[in-house]
Amino acid sequence: MSTTQTPPALHWALAGSVLLMIAAGGLFWYASNMAAAKRQHNHDEIVVNIHPHSCEPNALTVPAGRASFRIVNRSERAVEWEILDGVLVVEERENIAPGLSQVINANLQPGDYAITCGLLSNPRGTLHVTPTAASDAAAKAKPSMVAFVGPLSEFRVYLAVQSSALIKAATALNQAIASGDLAQAQALYLPARAAYQRLAPAAQRLAELDNQINARADYFEKREQDPAFVGFHRLEYALFQQRNLDDVTPIAQRLLADVTTLKQQLLAQSLPPEQLVGIVVRNLNSLAEVRAGSGEEERYSHSDLNGFAANAQTARKVVDLLRPMLSKSSADVLANVDQAISDFDNQLNAFKSADGYVSYDAVTAAQRQQIAAKAKALATAMDGIDPALGLSGL
């Protein structure tokens, strides 16, 4: 018996392991094919090849919703691929290395987009996104809370910017008063008031602080003579009625401190979507029902129109922030609001003078009534936003 002869058991083992290897190889081949098939089909990837001077395909049509694009770089350089809405990038993938591919996932709204491919001088492609039953339903559906994060953030930025402008204007007013320059102080009262009036819809939620800044003499027992009467209108009284700056330096300093606190408090408060519209409607209603007719707000300086125009600016800001949502689901409401804003603006613009607005004591009772009517119409039109976007139901 030769010692080199292999025992039969080993034969079987060898044959078995070969079989196993074949089977494993087969399984691996099968599995990798399945995986490739999955990549290609299960995720519905759209393959885009980037050649040195063009993309292939260069015109894409996909249904609205989530889409995956596999970008294969068949050029010699690292490239980027972008989906553009006008000049704005919707999605992009940068630095795709030559010979490699990357996947871009996008959630697309119906519409026409441009696509860039590779070199900046290469022709742009087109991406046509067709509406689906789901996208039609989504367009008509009321927006979710997440959709308001952008507009509410932008409004908070607006409050921050306008508060800083108010602090700056109050600082300048303070300096003019401290240096006893009456003419300069009178001139600086107006921009400070305009800055405050842009914030007024939001500031009026902070009852106590707002009273320190904006209360009229009527709210105090001894009216103008009451030591508790402070803020803008106490300064207005000194600047335009008494025309005397002797006692008001501490009042101007306190106003500056109060508007500085106002900025902090405005940025600290949370504003739910229904309040974003609600505060503007309230502000316009007070204009229509009280301030326009009486001219009580700026009774010493008669600079009421300066404030009304600032109120209108904030109304416009809020409408602009909600415009994308309104134009999608409630175009009729938006058209009403836009018409009312432009009517109100035109009404106020009719009273423009070389250096701002005419004095309110020159505005007749009939004209005041027209201003009130336009403000009321805008408040009413904006009242339609809440039900249209479902703000109260969020």
Partner 1 sequence: MKKTPLALLLTLGLLNTPLSAFAATAPLDLVGPVSDYKIYVTEKLDELASHTQQFTDAVKKGDLATAQKLYAPTRVYYESIEPIAELFSDLDASIDSRVDDHEKGVKAEDFTGFHRLEYSLFAEKSTKGLDALADGLNKDVQDLQSRVAGLTFPPEKVVGGAAALLEEVAATKISGEEDRYSHTDLYDFQGNIDGAKKIVDLFRPQIEQQDKAFVAKVDKNFATVDKILAKYKTADGGFETYDKVKDNDRKALVGPVNTLAEDLSMMRGKLGLN
* Residues contributing to the site for partner 1 (CB under 8 A): 53, 77-78, 80, 82, 84, 87-89, 92, 94-95, 116, 119-122, 144-146, 148-154, 156-157, 160, 270-272, 321, 324
Q: Is the Cβ of residue 87 or residue 137 nearer to partner 1 in the bound state?
A: 87
CB of 102 to partner 1, least distance (A): 11
For the bound state, the minimum distance from the C-beta of residue 58 to partner 1, rounded and expressed in Å, comes to 17
Closer to partner 1 at the Cβ: 187 or 394? 394
| Burial tier of 203 (Cβ tally within 10 Å: 0-12, 13-18, 19+) | buried
Shortest CB 273 distance to partner 1, Å: 9
Minimum gap (Å) between residue 94 Cβ and partner 1: 7
- Least distance (Å) between residue 53 CB and partner 1: 8
| Residues 363, 377: Cα–Cα separation, whole Å | 20
Q: Name residue 142's amino acid.
A: K
- The nearer residue to partner 1, 119 or 172, going by C-beta atoms, is 119
Instruction: Output the CA torsion sign for 271, 274, 278, 280.
Output: positive
For partner 1, the closer of residues 184 and 313 by Cβ is: 313
Nearest distance from residue 366's CB to partner 1, in Å? 39
SS3 323: helix
For residue 92, the minimal CB distance to partner 1 (Å) is: 8
Under DSSP, is residue 190 helix (H, G, I), strand (E, B) or coil? helix
Structure tokens at 88: 């704005």
Inter-CA distances, 280 with 87, 202, 299, Å = 33, 8, 23
Residue 331: Cβ within 10 Å count? 11
Nearer CB in complex with partner 1: 112/355 = 112
- Sequence-ordered strand ranges (E) for the chain: 45-50, 55-56, 59-63, 65-73, 79-85, 88-96, 101-108, 111-117, 125-130, 352-353, 356-357
Contact predicate 110/131, CB 8 Å: yes
Alpha-carbon 196 to chain mean position: 21
Spatial separation of the C-alpha atoms in residues 71 and 50, rounded to whole Å = 7
The 3-state DSSP composition of the chain as helix, strand, coil percent (nearest 5) reads 60, 15, 25
Tell me the closest approach of the beta carbon of residue 200 to partner 1, in angstroms.
20
Specify whether the CB–CB gap between 235 and 213 falls below 8 A: no
What would the two tokens of residue 202 be? 């939001």
The secondary structure of residue 358, as a DSSP letter, is -
Q: What is the closest distance, in whole angstroms, from the C-beta atom of residue 122 to partner 1 in the complex?
A: 8
Indicate the SS3 state at residue 299. coil
